[in-house]
């Protein structure tokens, strides 16, 4: 049965879009049909990350009733399928965010996993993306402000009756100034699904307009995202070396 997962974060800049794109790419590598949807309508980034900032038909057209959702799906040369949103701000006030739920229902007939890359924070856009989801993944950094905002997001999701699969902690450097992973787990009272290390290949992938999972498949980040995808899909997969030790710790 198809599943719609919304990627959320209480704070911007923690790697939410990067996680959505690479999770989608990694799930696809396991043979899953995946569509990544940019539901961050105010400041969309999925298209920018994958070299499709402007497309003939986008999610905005679908929400305005000007196009079918199937017409807004684009396949990146890597095989990743996405639905970008418009960079234009002219029509933002006319968009009905509640229709994201109907969009999700339509997409479930076309893929195994639908991934919504929501807006950061707890505004109307983010709440609509949460409402449309079957389950959520919260993305944060190992820093007190980011984890505190992630806690607010988790509390809201629980109040809305949404399942939270767990937390993905990104940009982990292993520095003494970072919050220990156990402390993050205890503070959020949620399982840690993935730990994504700081990796310079992320910026290289952005420059190449592709997911790091494709541009640098042997990188630390790519392997961590593959392990995350395996957990999400319920696939038995063991990452080699450093990552196995990090997760066990």
The pLDDT-based confidence of 2 (bands split at 50, 70, 90) is very high
Residue 21 CA to residue 199 CA, distance in Å, equals 16
Residue 248: its pLDDT value, please?
47
> Any idea what DSSP says for residue 209?
T
Phi and psi at residue 115, to the nearest 5°: -115, 115
Q: Which helix (H) or strand (E) holds 187?
A: helix 181-188
Q: Any idea where the domains of the chain sit in the sequence?
A: 3-248
Does the global pTM surpass 0.75?
yes
Give how far Cα 104 sits from Cα of 57, 137, 189, 202, 221, Å.
17, 16, 28, 29, 28
- For 42-55, the pLDDT digits (tens) are 999 999 999 988 99
- Domain spanning 3-248, CATH class: alpha beta
Residue 239: its pLDDT value, please?
62
Q: What is the mean pLDDT of the chain?
A: 93
Q: Span 68-90, mean pLDDT?
A: 92
Q: Is the pLDDT of residue 90 over 90?
A: no
Q: What percent of the chain has pLDDT over 70?
A: 96
First to last CA, the chain: 33
- For 125-180, the pLDDT digits (tens) are 999 999 999 999 999 999 999 999 999 999 999 999 999 999 999 999 999 999 99
The pLDDT-based confidence of 77 (bands split at 50, 70, 90) is confident
The pLDDT-based confidence of 78 (bands split at 50, 70, 90) is confident
Residue 18 CA to residue 11 CA, distance in Å, equals 14
Residue 130: its pLDDT value, please?
97
Q: Is the pLDDT of residue 243 over 80?
A: no
């Amino acid at each position: 049965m198809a599943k719609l997962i919304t990627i959320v974060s209480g704070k911007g800049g923690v790697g939410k879009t990067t996680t959505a794109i690479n999770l989608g790419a990694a799930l696809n590598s396991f043979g899953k049909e995946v569509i990544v949807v940019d539901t961050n309508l105010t400041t969309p980034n999925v298209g920018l990350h994958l070299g499709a900032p402007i497309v003939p038909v986008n999610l905005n057209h679908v929400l305005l009733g000007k196009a079918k959702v199937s017409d807004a799906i684009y396949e990146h040369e890597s095989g990743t399928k996405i639905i970008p949103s418009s960079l234009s701000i002219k029509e933002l006030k006319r968009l009905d965010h509640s229709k994201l739920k109907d969009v999700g229902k339509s997409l479930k007939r076309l893929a195994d996993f639908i991934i919504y890359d929501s807006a950061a924070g707890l505004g109307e856009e983010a709440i609509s993306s949460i409402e449309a989801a079957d389950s959520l993944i919260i993305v944060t950094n190992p820093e007190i402000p980011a984890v505190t905002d992630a806690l607010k997001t988790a509390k809201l999701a629980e109040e809305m009756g949404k399942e939270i699969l767990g937390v993905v902690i990104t940009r982990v450097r292993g520095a003494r100034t970072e919050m220990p992973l156990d402390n993050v787990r205890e503070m959020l009272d949620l399982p840690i699904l993935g730990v994504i290390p700081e990796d310079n290949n992320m910026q290289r992938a952005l420059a190449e307009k592709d997911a790091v999972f494709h541009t640098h498949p042997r990188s630390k980040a790519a392997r961590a995202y593959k392990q995350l995808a395996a957990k999400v899909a319920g696939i038995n997969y063991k990452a080699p070396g450093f990552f196995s030790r990090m997760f066990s710790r």
